Amino acid sequence: MREFDVVVFGATGFTGRFVAEALAAAAAPVRWAIAGRDPERLAALRRELVDAHGAAAGVPVVVARSDDPASLRAMVCRTKVVASTVGPFEQHGDPLVDACVEHGCDYVDSTGEPAFWRRTVSRLHAAAVERQVLLVPCCGFDSVPHDLGALLTARALEGERGLEIDAFVRATGDPSGGTWASLLEALAGMGRPEPGAGPTSPRGRTRTPMRPHFEPAVGQWVVPLPTVDPLVVRRSAQFCPELGPELRYRHWLQTRTLGKTAALLGGVAALTVLAKIGPTRRWLLARKPQGQGPSAEVRARSKFEVVFIGRAASGRSVRVRVAGRDPGYGFTGATVAAAALVLACDRERLRYRGGVLTPASGLGDPFIERLRGRWLEIDVA
């Protein structure tokens, strides 16, 4: 028996607060705690939670730092699940996932950083299987709508073979300082040699070259979107028979016009160059300080929609739409909290007992049930 079911690590950060809020609002029958590096900020957050949600939200506080292995060990030994929003994960992530595998604690997080994800898969999958620990990174906007949407698209084509899925993403909103820092970290690392994701996660293949084009299925220009999401979906395909290891998955960003497409590609190229140079990266980092994020008004206007077009070798096709609001923060807080609750409460319903898995393969239907209708609109046509 461990003292806690769930510990939210990074609870004082911009995203971590939304995870703590979601757990307090869920009022689930779980023992949970908030964790971070600063006891005073944690105590202030605890007071805010009690003011908003009543005495039951006066949860215990755990102090731990990602650069203090003894504190991480002590934290993971007290809980069944850690939900981490301590990013950039490229800087802070490895010691926590190591401690989780070593001490038998399940793990979910809000990362969207491809290098951290690949490294965690390749370093820890085998040990996590052996120790029956579930590590499920990418439980925020990266990669929940895309991964679950692909799974539901494949299910709508049940019994068919040779599946191809194209996902067309549209999202609005501003990044927090933590997301901005993580994006710059990821761009700075592009092209750096990284271990692959191991033999259980091939990169997947596409039948046609991926180029910007006008896409009649969504009536928009689209550009290839090389985020962590296609890596995650292709890993799901290795573990979810509905998707199948032969799945061809392509991930696209919708842009409104050819001019916006060109501006976007130019902007990303320029940002990548600037992120790789120390002084300009520091200048960019100072534009959005960590700990801060978009206002309530901006978040209230922010939304996302992902359209999936699934095709089978037989010629049958389906269209699935997944949508929601406030992707980066309200949504990510809710999905990371729901993922932690699945591991804490629904573990016996899960397909796998251990490994570095994905939202679809590691959390599956109990996760969909917790999100559908509340945070995820799902339409299958």
Ligand X SMILES: NC(=O)c1ccc[n+]([C@@H]2O[C@H](COP(=O)([O-])OP(=O)(O)OC[C@H]3O[C@@H](n4cnc5c(N)ncnc54)[C@H](OP(=O)(O)O)[C@@H]3O)[C@@H](O)[C@H]2O)c1
- 16 binding ligand X? (CB under 6 A): yes
- 117 binding ligand X? (CB under 6 A): no
- 290 binding ligand X? (CB under 6 A): yes
Q: Which of 7, 8, 23, 88 binds ligand X (CB under 6 A)?
A: 88
**CA nearest neighbour of 79 among 100, 93, 94:** 100
Rounded to a whole number of angstroms, the minimum distance from the CB of residue 188 to ligand X is 14
**CA nearest neighbour of 133 among 366, 343, 336:** 343
Spell out where 174-316 has E strands. Answer: 213-215, 220-224, 248-255, 303-311
- 293 binding ligand X? (CB under 6 A): yes
Contact 211, 261 (CB under 8 A): no
Q: Which of 41, 276, 303, 319 binds ligand X (CB under 6 A)?
A: 41
Residue 308 neighbours by CB under 8 Å, 6+ apart:
149, 150, 152, 153, 165, 166, 167, 168, 318, 319, 320, 321, 322
- 12 binding ligand X? (CB under 6 A): yes
Contact 160, 372 (CB under 8 A): no
Stretch that binds ligand X, among 137-145, 209-217, 261-269, 348-356 (CB under 6 A): 137-145
Footprint of ligand X on residues 92-111 (CB under 6 A)? 92, 110-111
Footprint of ligand X on residues 188-247 (CB under 6 A)? none
- 66 binding ligand X? (CB under 6 A): yes
Rounded to a whole number of angstroms, the minimum distance from the CB of residue 316 to ligand X is 32
- 142 binding ligand X? (CB under 6 A): yes
349 HSE (CA, 13 A, CB side): 13
User: Two tokens at 28?
Assistant: 């689930």
Stretch that binds ligand X, among 9-17, 51-59, 317-325, 368-376 (CB under 6 A): 9-17
275: amino acid identity, one letter:
A
Stretch that binds ligand X, among 123-131, 140-148, 304-312, 316-324 (CB under 6 A): 140-148
Q: Which residue has the tokens 């590096």?
A: 37
Q: At 377, is the secondary structure helix, strand, or coil?
A: strand
Q: Which of 33, 62, 85, 125 binds ligand X (CB under 6 A)?
A: 85
User: Two tokens at 151?
Assistant: 């799974």
Rounded to a whole number of angstroms, the minimum distance from the CB of residue 234 to ligand X is 18
- 122 binding ligand X? (CB under 6 A): no
Alpha-carbon distance 358 to 157, whole Å? 21
Alpha-carbon distance 311 to 317, whole Å? 4
- 112 binding ligand X? (CB under 6 A): yes
- 291 binding ligand X? (CB under 6 A): yes
Q: Which residue has the tokens 């579930």?
A: 134
- 358 binding ligand X? (CB under 6 A): no
Residues within the interface to ligand X (CB under 6 A): 10, 12-16, 36-38, 41, 65-67, 85-89, 92, 110-112, 140-142, 176-179, 182, 290-291, 293, 328, 332
